[in-house]
């Protein structure tokens, strides 16, 4: 059973509320997805023929960057990436995110980065046992954080993980300048050895010589 199952239906509002109530009563966290269609499900079948016809009019080119297929959970093959039928199956088929993540982690990446808004994939990756101690970052911070601040935090984390960062792409032609750092606060902590309380003196026994 998938770790985060998705229920796709055409139910009316009162039925959806009932399903939500039953799941919540069973201790299952529920969240409605803000989407127009249930992608990767049987609800896509009515438009697959049109989608296939549209894809047939496109000239595909070989991929320049290796990537993992959500349809197979393995590295995409050149013949798959340029095959319209593959993308039709991709729209209808199950997303094998967990399998794909395991394939990616086999290469022992230094860090995982979610490209795009939100933290959905970041959360899913962090729940993957195979991720271990690999840092998982989001491109943009959460709603409680300004976008620019979140981006800078992510870049700093990537740099700290050993990923080369093109700082000129961020700063442009603006020269960098030194910023004074706060001095050491000299926070003192004392570690004095407290004297032990005096014990009651016991008189030494008398010594008598013969």
* Gap between the Cα atoms of 124 and 97, Å rounded: 9
Residue 18 has, within 13 A of its CA and on its CB side, a CA count of: 6
Q: What is the pLDDT along the chain (210 residues), one digit of tens a residue?
A: 455 555 555 555 666 778 888 888 888 877 777 777 788 888 888 999 999 999 999 999 998 999 999 999 999 999 999 999 999 999 999 999 999 999 999 988 889 999 887 788 888 888 888 788 888 998 876 666 677 888 888 899 999 989 998 988 888 878 778 888 888 877 778 888 887 776 666 666 666 655
The Cα angle at residue 37 between residues 33 and 40, in degrees rounded to 5:
95
pLDDT of residue 4: 54
What are the DSSP calls for 87-133, one per residue? Answer: HHHHHHS---HHHHHHHHHTT--S-EEE-SSSSHHHHHHHT-GGGTT
In the beta sheet, which residues pair with residue 113?
137
Q: Are 45 and 92 in contact (CB under 8 A)?
A: yes
Give me the residue label for tokens 């989001």: 138
> Could you tell me the end-to-end alpha-carbon distance of the chain, in angstroms, rounded to an integer?
94
pLDDT of residue 8: 54
- pTM of the predicted protein model: 0.65
* DSSP annotation of 10: -
Strand partners, 137: 113
Q: How far is CA 44 from the centre of its chain?
A: 28
Structural domain boundaries in the chain: 108-163
Q: CA–CA separation, 60 vs 82, rounded Å? A: 5
CA distances from 186 to 180, 181, 189 (A): 17, 15, 9
């Amino acid at each position: 059973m998938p770790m985060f199952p998705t229920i796709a239906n055409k139910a009316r509002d009162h039925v959806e509320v009932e399903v939500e109530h039953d799941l919540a009563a069973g201790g299952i966290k529920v969240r409605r997805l803000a989407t127009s269609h249930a992608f990767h499900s049987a609800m896509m079948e009515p438009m697959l023929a049109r989608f296939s016809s549209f894809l047939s009019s496109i000239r595909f080119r070989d991929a320049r960057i290796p990537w993992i297929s959500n349809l197979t959970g393995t590295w995409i093959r050149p013949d798959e990436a340029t095959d319209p039928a593959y993308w039709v199956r991709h729209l209808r088929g199950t997303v094998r995110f967990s399998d794909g993540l395991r394939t990616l982690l086999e290469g022992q990446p230094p860090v995982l980065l979610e490209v795009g808004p939100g933290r959905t994939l970041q959360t899913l990756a962090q729940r993957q046992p195979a991720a271990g101690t690999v840092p998982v970052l989001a491109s943009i911070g959460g709603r409680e954080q300004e976008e620019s601040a979140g981006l800078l935090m992510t870049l700093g984390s990537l740099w700290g993980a050993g990923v080369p960062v093109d700082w000129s792409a961020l700063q442009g032609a603006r020269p960098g300048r030194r910023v004074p750092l706060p001095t050491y606060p000299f926070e003192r902590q004392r570690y004095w050895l407290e004297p032990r309380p005096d014990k009651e003196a016991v008189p030494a026994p008398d010594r008598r010589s013969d």
